[in-house]
Amino acid sequence: MTSLEKARWLSLAVPAALLAGALGSQYLGGLHPCEMCHWQRWPHYAAIALALLSFLMRGGPDKGRSFVWLAGLAILTSGLIGVYHAGVELGIFEGLTKCSSVASGASAEELLKDIMAAPLVRCDQVQFEFLGISMAGWNAFISISAAAFVLWLSIRKPRAA
């Protein structure tokens, strides 16, 4: 398997695994994501789509390498958001001060009922940690490491046989 193929598979597997963990902790583990948790997920969704495009473009002029790079950059973006989120949790950075909701023509009573039923999740409080590192911290560590490896593999020259 070439370095580019390894990068291609890694750019698909890492965000898929991280999203599986995030969605599993949400829907099976009962951990409700904050707004910044959602921010970290979007680049992973993009990375998966870009990685899949790289598989489709294997026969193209650059063998899909540009899509692998873009997937690697998307993974890196999620990691950088994770650094910021972990910094907010540790009190290094100031977190969000706004509240967000979606109002879709509902009455005031319906909106109040929805707001009161929704779990309040703050971005500056750790809901779960493993080995003293929050989920945002793990996302940052894994995403930045994987992105560096994907990008390195994708530019690596093939070995002479």
Query: pLDDT digit string (tens) for 75-118?
Result: 999 999 888 878 887 777 776 654 444 455 667 777 667 666 66
For residue 129, report the phi and psi dihedrals to the nearest 5 degrees: -140, 155
Considering only residues 115 and 19, tell me which one the structure prediction assigns the higher pLDDT: 19
What per-residue confidence (pLDDT) applies to 98?
Answer: 47
Average pLDDT over residues 27-41: 82
pTM: 0.76
Report the alpha-carbon distance of residue 77 to residue 106 in Å, rounded: 35
Could you give the C-alpha distances from 33 to 23, 38, 120, 128, in angstroms and in order?
A: 9, 7, 10, 11
Domains, in order of start, for the chain: 3-94+106-155 (1.20.1550)
What residue type is assigned to position 33 of the chain?
P
Is there a contact between 147 and 76 (Cβ–Cβ < 8 Å)? Answer: yes
What per-residue confidence (pLDDT) applies to 55?
Answer: 92
Share of the chain above pLDDT 90, in %: 34
CA angle 119, 125, 129 (to 5 degrees): 105
Is there a contact between 69 and 21 (Cβ–Cβ < 8 Å)? Answer: no
Closest CA to 80 of 153, 137, 6: 137
What per-residue confidence (pLDDT) applies to 151?
Answer: 92
What per-residue confidence (pLDDT) applies to 110?
Answer: 75
Report the mean per-residue pLDDT for the chain.
81
What per-residue confidence (pLDDT) applies to 99?
Answer: 41
